[in-house]
Amino acid sequence: MIIKFLIAAEEHLEDIYNMLEEKNQRRAIDLYNNILDEVERLKDFPKIAQSESEDK
């Protein structure tokens, strides 16, 4: 499985990181890495994510 980020998702992740980094760099790094780790889990467990049809 290939996981692709939308440009908007990448920008949002960067915005979240930048906002947190101003207050606590370690927490910003941890959160960023945790988000990426959870996204990587989709490769092994693709059904844990909500599908587009479930969004509606």
Q: What is the mean pLDDT of the chain?
A: 88
Cβ-count burial of 38 within 10 angstroms (0-12 exposed, 13-18 middle, 19+ buried)?
A: exposed
54: Cα separation from own chain's centroid: 19
Mean per-residue pLDDT, 23-27: 97
Please write the tens of the pLDDT for every residue from 30-56. Answer: 999 999 999 999 888 888 876 666 555
Domain ranges of the chain: 1-44
Q: Averaged over 24-30, what is the pLDDT?
A: 97
pLDDT at 10 over 70: yes
Mean pLDDT within 4-20: 95
DSSP state of 22: T
Average pLDDT over residues 1-25: 94
